[in-house]
Amino acid sequence: MPLDLNTLIVRPISGSIGAEIDGVDLTDISDEQFADIRTANDTYGVIFFREQEMSPDQHIAFAKRWGNIVINQFFTALDGYPEIAQVSKEPDQKMNIGNLWHTDHSYDQVPAFGSVLYAKEVPDVGGDTLFASVAAAYEGLSDGLKATLEDMNACHSSRHIFGAEKSRVSQVEELGSRIGNPKLATQNSIHPIVLTHPRTGQKGLYVNPQFTTHIEGWTTEESEPFLAMLYQHTMQQEYQCRFRWAKGSVAIWDNLATWHQAINDYHGFRRLMHRVTIEGVELQ
């Protein structure tokens, strides 16, 4: 349902997740507008803005209204701005960043709250991003499975994605110029499979295909089919929305409420995004 807010025009884009917000300049918003933006983000999991013009300093200043900034250790930063990670793909590159369903920083002991992603250059066609609601996916489970998952934990890691032991040689060759510092990819964490969101109180599934390695107390072999079932359930289209980018578009998403996936369908074209990541809180 549409959210009734005093200062914003909010248009939901699917039944489960996502909304576009019109008529807002993110470089010039009041405290009341920002409070409504945060409420919209809590309600829809991910929110989108069109036709924004932000300098790097303005991008950082807006992100700081959400909380402290997390400096990404693995992405190439914008020159002079370590807070801004560049998410890019050049015309001659085949592999993009983020092409598997995931939630950012789940490998950290204190996962990042979310990100402010700003489109600097996009292809004319392609390069959309899919988002999925982990709260809607949880609600779609049977009562029996919800009860089974209630006290279970899962293990997450950065090592196999960003570390020296990356799982695919092609990944090292293709992403080597865009993702670095493999020696810093030492993060391991354990989080509840069913989390209670610290702001909204909603329950959601907190596992993802990219960074979750196994269920605590289970072997990898035992974990794989069980996790695959949860992944396939969360990937259902009724829990998703799709956003088509244009230059100047901004997305703000909540990592505790969503997954996302960057579609790799624009070979031969350049795509450049600037991402600022916001610090989170310890999960209970």
- Report how far residue 17's alpha carbon sits from residue 249's, in angstroms, rounded to the nearest whole number: 18
Give which of 74, 271, 78, 99 is closest to 183, Cα–Cα: 74
Contacts of 79 (CB under 8 A, 6+ apart): none
Q: How far, CA to CA in Å, does 249 sit from each of 22, 246, 268?
A: 11, 6, 21
Which ranges of the chain does DSSP label H, i.e. alpha helix?
A: 31-44, 56-64, 134-139, 143-149, 159-162, 169-175, 220-234
Structure tokens at 182: 């493999």
Residues annotated as catalytic are: 102, 104, 260, 275
Structure tokens at 54: 């932000």
